Structures are given as C-alpha cells and as structure tokens.
Chains A and B, each alone.
Chain A
Amino acid sequence: MSAKIMASRRKDIIYSVIAVLLLLIMLFPLYWIFVTSLKLEKEIFRNPPTFWPTQLNLKSYMVQLEIGDFNMFRSFGNSLIISGGAMIISIILAVPASYGVARFNFKGKKPIVLGFLITQMLPVSVLLTPLFIIFKNMNLYNTFWSTIIADSTIGIPFSILILKNYFASIPKELEEAAYIDGLNRFTAFIRVLIPIAKQGVVVCGVFSFLYAWGDLAYGMTFIIDQRRRPITAGIFNFLGQYGTKWSYLSAFAVVTIIPVALIFIFMQKYIISGMTSGAVKG
C-alpha cells in the first residue's frame, strides 16, 4: 500500500516537473523580450547572448518620459481611451441585446443571432477599405471615434453570444417575482437581472477591452496622426523607422503587455470561461 502511495507521489512530481519545463519553453519568448528590455544596446548585440543583463539598464523606459519621435506613454494613454471606449459601447449595446435574445421569442430572432455569429468570423480586411471611406465622409477619419467604433464591432457580437448563455441560465421565477413586486420588463432587467449576470458582464468587458487593445489594423488605418495613434500602431511605425533599435522596441513590447498581464493575473478564471464558452458554444 505504501509503495503505491510512493509511486503515485513520484508520478506527481515527475508530471509537475515536465509541466513546468513545457511552460518555460512556451513562455521563453516573453522572458526573452523582458530581459532584452533591461539590457544596454551593446549587450543586446553580444555573442554569445547573456540570459540575464550583466548591467541593469532602465534607460529604455526612462527615455520615454522625455520627448521623442514616438512617445510611448502618450500612445499608451491613447490605447486606454480607445479600448475603454470600445468596451463601454460593447457593454451598453450587448447586455440588453443578449437579454433580448436569451429571454424573448420574436420575429427574426434566429437570423439575427446567426448574423452576430457570422460577424465574429469576419476578417478585418473586408471592413478596412469601406470603413476608411465611410469614416472619411463622416469626418471621423483621424479621430479616436473611428477606431473605437470599428473595435467595438468585434466586442459586441462576442459579448452577446457569451452573455446570452448567462441570461438563459437565470431561473425565470426571479423575473416573475420582480413583476409581482411592480417592476416592468425594463426595470426588472436593470435592477434584478444585470446584477445577477455581473460575472458575465465582466467577462464581456474584459474581452472587448483586450480585442481593442490588441488591434493594429484599425488604429493604423483610421488614425494617421502619430499623436493620436494607439500603442500598437505607434510601435509598428517605430519598427519601420528604427527596425534594429531593439532596446527601445523591447521596452515598448513590455509596456504593452503590462495591462494584459494584469488582467490575466486577476481574471484568469473569467478569461478561460469566456474562451471556452464563447468559442465552442458560439
């Protein structure tokens, strides 16, 4: 009996060691860019490479506080505005829509749901040229609004399809009780149902934010003014101009990852539930 326990404990250790090794391989690129951002330009080009900086260098980050060709922190702020805006629009539109789809039967419901599903699979390329011309004609070209509007077309269908499942799982008795208490369909939705589906709303907010945060195509096409561009487009521009300035580029990369990393650390549970339910169930 004790031999069996020993065997299973040994198995546990072996598997855990393999798992950690796999993780190290998988995450090596992220470690590598982080270490590079802390090196002096000279050390980056050293052969053989060093796996930890011999001389810690924070200049690649500090230099951004001064005025340069590309101000990382301003672009970071632009990205926050754009992603936050896309998140707010997505939630305001998707929360009621998903409730409507989950709870009511109305004419044309099925094609509408199918339509939302299909937009999720749409390539950005198909919207880029027409939206570019539309935004030019609406005088939205080169404003935050253009990118906010375009980015939320990704967040809205995703959020509706995720939240639909949340609302469908809430027992109908809750609404009936709310009606008896004198609430109508709209007030019941706002005062009773949204608080219950809070977790789902958070998942949708997180994903809408992350989609917009990671966007390059819309931000780069619809905003031409370097001072208004999101950080991804700013980095892409810098890459084109100073392609080998890896000390700065790696620092940009790390700064762009920070919000993603924070969201991941605090909301890992939500993110994984969103990924699996969003992708498989549609």
Chain B
Amino acid sequence: MTKIRKGFFRYDNVGMLFVLPAFIYMISFVGYPIIYNFILSLQNVTVKNLRTGQHEFVAFKNYIDLFTHDDVLVRSIVNTLVFTVACLIFQFLIGFALALFFNREFRLSRPVRGLMMIPWMIPITISGLIFKFMFSNDVGIINFFLKTLGIVKDNIEWLTNPKTAMPAVIMTNIWIGIPFNMILLAAGLTTIPSELYESASIDGASKVQRLFRITLPLLRPTIESVLILGFIYTFKVYDLVYVMTTGGPVNATQLLSTYSYKLSFDMFKYSQGAAVANILFIVLFLVSLLYLKFIDTEIET
C-alpha cells in the first residue's frame, strides 16, 4: 500500500542520487560505445570517411565479407576456443592441486601461498615480455632446460614456428591464471567443515574417496564459478598474445581480440574491426548471463 502511494518519490530513492554519477559515467563510456560499436559494424567506416560523418549503411556485409573473403576469422574463432579450453583445463587442475596442498596445516603454508599470487599481479605486457625472452630461440632458457634434460636435441623455434607458437602462448597464460584458480578454490575449501573429513576417516574412507565424496561435491559451486569466470577472462585475452606474437606467425595465434585490433588499427577497417569485436562481445555476454543466473541468489542478499 505505502509503496504504491509514495510511488517513485518514496524516500529511499535518495539512494539513486548516490548511484547516478557512476551510472552516467558508465553509460557514456561503456554503454554508449557498445551500441556505437554495433552500429559501426553495420556501416562502412574506414580511415577515409572517419571524420566526414557520412557513413554508408551496409547491413551485415562486414560480417558476410569476414566469413567469406578469407579464413582468418574462422581461424581466429577456432584459435580462441583452443586457447581458452586448453588454458582453462590446465590452470584449473594445477590451481586445484595447489589449493589442496596449501590447505594443509603447516608453518609456511599461508606466507608461501600469498607469494604464489605474484604472477597474477604482474602487468600482462611484462609477463608477455618475460616469456617471449624465455621462449626465444638462441637465448631462451626454456630451450636450454629442454636440451640439458635431453628432451630435445635442437632449439625449438617456439614463437616463430606456427606449430609451437600456440602452445607457448597457452603455457604463458596458464602461468598467469594459476594463482587466480588457486586462491578462489582455496577460499572455497575453507568453507568445508573439517568435522566431515574426521568422521569420514573414522568410517574408514580413503584419501581418494574423501576427495571424490566430500571435497568435490561440496566445492561444486566454487568450481563452477571459477570455470565460468576463467572462461570469460581467458576468452578475451588480448595484451599477452599481442605482445608475444601479434597473432602470428601466419595467424597461428590470431585470436578474436587480436584480429579485431589488427583490422581496426593496422588495416584501418574500423567497421570490420568492430564486427569482430561484436562477435567476441556476444559470446561473452551470453556466458556472463549464465554466470549472473548462477550467482543470482547472492545478488539478492
């Protein structure tokens, strides 16, 4: 009743005044650009007519051209999926193993786990630079280790060979992603009451049984959100690949993000760049909705 009578001007709407500045800012510099990006992708904007403001409407021509003129877009889509899935699997498994290990009570567990977070904090440009150095052909320490251990005889041309460039980039991104997976899974592990493990071991459950019967089922919500968030963050990776390979050699590591950048800012085909970015956006938007649905109960509170 009171709700209806007071309507829009009920007192709590003062809260909107607090939110309004941030809201307007985000609408201007995020909301509007997203819509503008979509419109751009339906026009034909190049460096020639950028300033004139007379932009021809071409409907879905950019998308059709991108799919039919050459196979770079399709390759970028496949590469992005390969990159994302490979990174997700390995960074999750390693991160989970580390979370279980550091969940044990020993003197150095907390301080060392804290220091393990450092790779996640390093600016991505720098991580890319460091691994570009380590993966380089002659001076690369990775080739040195592999040769010393007798795994390979000759130097591998990691980043200049189309076959090995993707694995090298994936390994680098796994290094960055491990801490993120580890810390979120570790936080999830602390919510499992230790009494469960105690009573299970009294009942004679083995360590493996305890992992599959107690840890994994109870950790499921955390695991799901870690994987969805990991997908979102990995699918849009840009800086790392751009620094290490700029999408090469011969598009071997071309992702949707790097391809979009190349179209817009190396080839000055702004509309085509916007179209590729839009494909990337739509995929991420759908996955984000999935994630939002998933954590909906938590937003309510």
Contact = CB atoms under 8 A, between A and B. Distances in A.
Interface string B253-288: 000110011001100001001101110110011011
A192 interface: no
A170 interface: no
A106 B6 CA distance: 12
A114 B18 contact: no
From A108, A127, A281, residue with most partner B Cβ within 10 Å: A127
Given A16-B107, A125-B280, A281-B298, A100 B15 contact: yes
B144 A48 contact: yes
Contact of B281 (A122, A250, A268): A122
B34 A126 contact: yes
B168 interface: no
Interface stretch (A65-73, A150-158, A196-204): A150-158
Contact of B129 (A132, A239, A264, A279): A239
A149 B26 CA distance: 10
Contacts of B250: none
A266 to B, nearest CB: 13
Overall SS of chain A's interface: helix
B50 A136 contact: yes
A106 to B, nearest CB: 5
Contacts of A99: 18
A213 B123 contact: yes
Nearest to B289: A118
B200 interface: no
B238 interface: yes
A104 B14 CA distance: 8
Given A106-B15, A253-B129, A282 B295 contact: yes
A110 interface: yes
B236 A127 contact: no
B108 A19 contact: yes
A1 interface: no
B18 A96 contact: yes
Given A49-B144, A118-B285, A264-B118, A100 B26 contact: no
B29 A149 contact: yes
B292 A104 contact: no
Interface string A63-97: 00000000000000000000000000100111011
Interface string B219-231: 0001001000100
Interface residues of B, number: 101
Contact of B130 (A32, A129, A156, A260): A32
A124 B273 CA distance: 12
Q: How large is the interface on A (under 10, 10 to 19, 20 to 34, 35 or more residues)?
A: 35 or more
Contact of B256 (A45, A117, A125, A250): A125
B87 interface: no
Interface string A37-71: 00000001101110000000000000000000000
B50 A276 contact: no
Given A19-B101, A257-B126, A93 B107 contact: no
B229 A29 contact: no
A33 B139 CA distance: 12
Interface in A234-282: 235-236, 239, 246, 249-250, 252-253, 256-257, 260-261, 263-264, 268, 271-272, 275-276, 279-282
A7 interface: no
B284 to A, nearest CB: 6
A195 interface: no
B18 A23 contact: no
Interface in A105-127: 105-110, 112-119, 121-127
A104 B15 contact: yes
Nearest to A184: B14
Contact of A221 (B115, B119, B256, B265): B265
Given A12-B107, A100-B17, A104-B15, A124 B238 contact: yes
Contacts of A191: none
21 contacts: A16-B107, A19-B106, A32-B133, A97-B18, A97-B22, A101-B15, A106-B16, A117-B292, A118-B292, A121-B288, A123-B277, A124-B238, A127-B29, A130-B32, A134-B33, A136-B50, A153-B30, A249-B129, A275-B120, A280-B222, A282-B298
Given A236-B243, A280-B184, 18 more contacts: A29-B119, A36-B133, A89-B25, A93-B21, A97-B23, A101-B15, A106-B12, A121-B287, A122-B236, A122-B284, A123-B277, A123-B281, A124-B236, A213-B123, A214-B239, A216-B239, A268-B114, A271-B117
Q: Closest 4 A-B residue pairs measured CB to CB?
A: A104-B15, A100-B18, A123-B236, A214-B123
Interface of A: 11-12, 15-16, 18-20, 22-23, 26-27, 29-30, 32-33, 36, 44-45, 47-49, 89, 92-94, 96-97, 99-101, 103-110, 112-119, 121-134, 136, 149-150, 152-153, 156-157, 160, 185, 189, 210, 213-214, 216-217, 221, 232, 235-236, 239, 246, 249-250, 252-253, 256-257, 260-261, 263-264, 268, 271-272, 275-276, 279-282
